[in-house]
């Protein structure tokens, strides 16, 4: 039976009971479970079809809760958390032993984030535990930015959906590792340049063998069922061209926002709508290769990747 909305009190009870709750953050909807309950976290992996090599982000309601999960909390973590928490920034640090290995893909690090959506914070506080949560969709598929997207993807396996309306940031968080020298693991709407202005130069993550240090590092990710093409639209087939600067020759074209933040907030919802039309392709004009567009370009590149 497909699950629908429930009150915060019931959602918190389900989290404490080891069940799965989908909830809104400012980035995308998450599929949450008690981060300290190994069996509950295993249900996330089973529901999503997610490989064990892809770690989960743990959502907290305060810097104090984050520090309780971290074996080391360097000054740079405090600097970044005080600048951007609550918000779309995940900080990877060395973990405490009581954080289950299934959460971290067996690594000695854990990604921590304090979301800014009021329902997400209320859920964590009501449950009284940190909540592990990847995006609430099947693995590598298009991330959900509304409760309806969750229902379409995972409505048969989630125990409760908290409906907080459309998300506002629209793509997943920036992920920065502070476990050793600072490294940018996943770009997002907080740019590399903004982070470097506070803590100095960042390294860049290379290809990972085995467990990934961050979610979102698989070559193909964030993908609709419809094939995505980055660049000019094909001459044949039934499709739609999403453009920024010119409509091109496509029979059907949609102008996307020219502001990076507005584009990020709109892109997944647009792709969900078009995916339902069972098109032959969706072609997308790539945004500029500038710092504010890095997160969007990463998502589009992975969505278009061919297995």
Residue range 71-112, pLDDT digits in tens? 999 999 999 999 999 999 999 999 999 999 999 999 999 999
Per DSSP, what are the bridge partners of residue 132? 33, 58
Separation CA 176–CA 45 (nearest Å): 23
Q: Is residue 214 part of a domain?
A: no
pLDDT digits (tens, 9 = 90+) for 222-236: 999 999 999 999 999
Residue 191 and residue 263 in one domain: no
DSSP 135: B
φ/ψ bin of 83: left (φ > 0), alpha (ψ from -120 to 50), beta (otherwise): alpha
Domain that holds residue 124: 8-204
d(CA 274, CA 240): 8
pLDDT(209) > 90: no
Same domain, 188 and 142: yes
In a domain, 82, yes or no: yes
Q: Total structural domains in the chain?
A: 2
DSSP helix, strand, coil percent of the chain (3-state; round to 5): 30, 20, 50
Looking at the structure, tell me whether residues 56 and 98 fall in a common domain.
yes
Tokens of 108: 């000695």
The CA-based dihedral angle spanning residues 290, 296, 300, 301, taken in that order and rounded to the nearest 10 degrees = 50
Q: Residue 1: is its pLDDT beyond 50? A: no
Write out pLDDT tens, residues 264-292. Answer: 999 999 999 999 999 999 999 999 999 99
How many angstroms separate the CA atoms of 298 and 279, rounded? 23
Q: What pLDDT, on the 0 to 100 scale, is given for residue 75? A: 97
For residue 207, what pLDDT is reported? 64
Q: Angle formed by the axes of helices 118-127 and 8-16, to 10°? A: 50
pLDDT category of residue 3 using cuts at 50, 70 and 90 = low
Q: Is residue 23 part of a domain?
A: yes
Sign of the CA dihedral running 218, 167, 14, 107? positive
Tell me: do 112 and 55 sit in the same domain: yes
- E-assigned strands of the chain? 21-24, 29-34, 57-59, 89-94, 109-113, 131-132, 160-161, 174-177, 183-186, 203-204, 228-230, 239-243, 253-255, 281-284
Which residue is associated with the tokens 């999403």?
242
Distance (Å, whole) CA 68 – CA 129: 11
Name the domain boundary from 171, 204, 237: 204
- Shared domain check, 264 and 187: no
The mean-pLDDT minimum among 79-83, 156-160, 174-178, 203-207 falls in 203-207
What local confidence, expressed as pLDDT, does residue 137 receive?
97
Domain of residue 125, CATH code = 3.90.870.10
- Provide mean pLDDT across the span 178-200: 97
Residue 217 lies in a domain: no
pLDDT of 237-250, one tens digit each?
Answer: 999 999 999 887 88
Whether residue 137 sits in one domain with residue 83:
yes
Q: Residues 31, 70: one domain? A: yes
Query: Which of 204, 220, 254 corresponds to the end of one domain?
Result: 204
Q: Is residue 211 part of a domain?
A: no
Instruction: Identify the domain boundary among 204, 237, 260.
Output: 204
Domain annotation covers residue 210 = no
The answer on 164 and 298 residing in a single domain is: no
| Pair 75, 191 in one domain | yes
Q: Is residue 271 one of the residues assigned to a domain?
A: yes
> Do 28 and 158 belong to one domain?
yes
Residues 71 and 110 in one domain: yes
Rg (CA), the chain: 19
pTM of the model: 0.96
Shared domain for 146 and 295, answered yes or no, is: no
pLDDT in tens, 250-262: 889 999 999 999 9
Task: Give CA–CA dist 78/9, Å, rounded.
Answer: 31
């Amino acid at each position: 039976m497909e699950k629908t909305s429930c009150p915060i009190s019931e959602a918190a009870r389900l989290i404490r009971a080891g069940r799965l709750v989908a909830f809104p953050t400012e980035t995308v909807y998450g599929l949450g479970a008690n981060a300290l309950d190994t069996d509950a976290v295993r249900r996330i992996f089973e529901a999503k079809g997610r490989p064990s090599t892809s770690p989960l982000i743990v959502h907290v309601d305060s810097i104090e809760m984050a520090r309780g999960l971290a074996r080391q909390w360097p000054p740079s973590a405090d600097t970044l958390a005080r600048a951007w928490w609550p918000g779309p920034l995940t900080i990877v640090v060395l973990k405490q032993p009581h954080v289950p290995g299934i959460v971290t893909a067996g690594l000695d690090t854990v990604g921590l984030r304090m979301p800014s959506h009021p329902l997400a914070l209320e859920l964590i506080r009501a449950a009284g535990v940190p909540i592990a949560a990847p995006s609430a969709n099947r693995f590598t598929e298009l991330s959900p930015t509304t409760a309806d997207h969750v229902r379409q993807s995972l409505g048969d396996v989630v125990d409760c959906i908290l409906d907080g309306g459309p998300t506002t940031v629209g793509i997943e968080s920036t992920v920065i590792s502070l476990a050793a020298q600072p490294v940018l693991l996943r770009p997002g709407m907080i740019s590399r340049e903004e982070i470097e202005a506070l803590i100095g130069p960042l390294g860049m993550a290379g290809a990972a063998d085995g467990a990934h240090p961050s979610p979102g590092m698989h070559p193909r990710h964030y993908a609709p069922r419809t094939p995505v093409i980055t660049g000019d639209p094909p001459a044949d087939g039934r499709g739609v061209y999403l453009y920024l600067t010119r409509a091109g020759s496509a029979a059907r074209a949609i102008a996307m926002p020219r502001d990076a933040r507005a584009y990020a907030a709109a892109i997944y919802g647009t792709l969900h709508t078009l995916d339902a039309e069972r098109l032959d392709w969706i072609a997308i004009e790539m945004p500029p290769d500038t710092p504010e567009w890095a997160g969007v370009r990463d998502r589009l590149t992975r969505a278009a990747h061919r297995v």
